[in-house]
Structures are given as C-alpha cells and as structure tokens.
Amino acid sequence: MWEIWKDKESGELLHTFSIVTTEGNDLLKRIHNNPKLEGPRMPVILTEAEEDLWLAPINSAADEEAIKRLIKPYPAEAMDAHPVKPLLGKEGAGNAPAASEPFEYLELVLADPLA
C-alpha cells in the first residue's frame, strides 16, 4: 500500500508506503526473531492467484473476510534464504544487485546447528 501526499507545513510531496505483516513462517522464525517484538513477523506475500482478490473492492462482510484470509504466512517450503553482505557501511554492497548474492559468515556457520 502506498500513497503520495503533500506535507501541509513544508509543501513537500512525500512518498509513503506500508508493509502488511503477519506471523513468521518456520523459515522466517529463524531469521526475523527480534526479542523486542511479540513474535517473528514476515511480510504478507500473495500468490498470483490471490492478487486480484487483494485488490478487489470491499462491498460486504464476506469481501472483508476474504481479504483477512489472505493475511497469513507464506509457505516456508516455497521460500529460500541465504546470508548476504551488509548493504551499508565501509564494506557494504549498497543497494545493488550484488547485495543479494550469497555470503558466508563463519560465525553463522559455526553457530548454526542445522549447517
């Protein structure tokens, strides 16, 4: 969800967005496990078949319930994950395609009982 709006004080056009989140699936529970939060979270990910339903107008309680059913964890088995280099900092890859390339951190390999 996104919107462009004008700040009343500065007159600046602001580009804002929201990310709808849900409970983290088994994969994301291992990655996004901030102890300050009530539990692991992940963005809602829709399949192509669900996209039209997400964007459809809400005209009834049934429509609203159909949307709520889409707010669920994406199947972990349909996802893959790997460590990447930092985006920022002295050795960061920056916001570039190379930032998505797998990177192996020795301390994570040694600490991961599944490795």
| pTM, 2 dp | 0.70
- The owner of tokens 């929201």 is 18
- Specify whether 43 is located in the same domain as 32: yes
- Specify whether 20 is located in the same domain as 51: yes
Structural domain total, the chain = 2
Q: Please count the CA atoms within 13 angstroms of the CA of 45 that sit on its side-chain side.
A: 12
- Specify whether 35 is located in the same domain as 88: no
For residue 97, the model assigns a pLDDT of 81
For residue 113, the model assigns a pLDDT of 57
Residue 70 has pLDDT above 80, yes or no: yes
- Specify whether 74 is located in the same domain as 93: no
Which residue range(s) make up the domain with 98?
A: 83-115
- Specify whether 71 is located in the same domain as 20: yes
- Specify whether 90 is located in the same domain as 74: no
Residue 111 has pLDDT above 70, yes or no: no
- Specify whether 13 is located in the same domain as 57: yes
- Specify whether 72 is located in the same domain as 87: no
The model's pLDDT over 76-110, given as tens digits with 9 standing for 90+, comes to: 999 988 888 877 777 666 677 878 888 888 776 66
The model's pLDDT over 4-62, given as tens digits with 9 standing for 90+, comes to: 999 999 999 999 999 999 999 999 888 877 777 788 889 999 999 999 999 999 999 99
Residue pair 17/1 in contact by the 8 Å Cβ criterion = yes
- Specify whether 10 is located in the same domain as 58: yes
For residue 101, the model assigns a pLDDT of 86
DSSP 8-state code for residue 99: G
